[in-house]
Amino acid sequence: MVHGIFSGDFQPGTGVHGSIQQWVNTPSLPICRRCRVCNNLYTQFLDYIDLPKIITFELRDKTTVLDTIVSVRQLSDADLDYRLVGIVYFGNTHFIAHIIKQDGQIWFWHHSFAI
């Protein structure tokens, strides 16, 4: 996970997960980068010490379930819950965003651009 104090970004490795919660609960993930010496895939080990306020997940498959609440267990055994607040779809020459407000309202934004 790449993160700063205010945000974190989960990027897909080589595996597909059934849900975001399952992804977060996986203690180690093979990633797409390879060792220059032995050519084996690197493995990323995850320990959550000081979690950021915002986290993002980049999905490359269409089968992962988007959990509305994701609970992350920190090394201190305290759980931190994250609420889904937005989804962005990107492809070809457009993107679509859905923003989910705390009261349940969903805002929709679509943008197309020329390449």
Type of residue numbered 76: S
Q: Which of the two residues, 18 and 12, has the higher pLDDT score?
A: 18
- My answer on whether 58 and 109 are in the same domain is no
For the chain, the first-to-last Cα distance in angstroms comes to 31
**Structure confidence by residue, pLDDT tens digits, 18-64:** 898 998 887 776 777 788 899 888 777 767 777 888 888 888 788 88
Note the pLDDT of residue 2.
43
- In the chain, DSSP finds a helix count (H) and a strand count (E) of 1, 10
**Structure confidence by residue, pLDDT tens digits, 78-92:** 888 999 988 888 777
Note the pLDDT of residue 10.
72
- My answer on whether 23 and 65 are in the same domain is yes
Contact between residue 99 and residue 85 where contact means Cβ atoms under 8 Å apart:
yes
- My answer on whether 23 and 50 are in the same domain is yes
Type of residue numbered 82: Y
- My answer on whether 54 and 94 are in the same domain is no
- My answer on whether 16 and 69 are in the same domain is yes
Is the pTM above the cut of 0.75? no
Domain that includes residue 61, residue range: 2-84
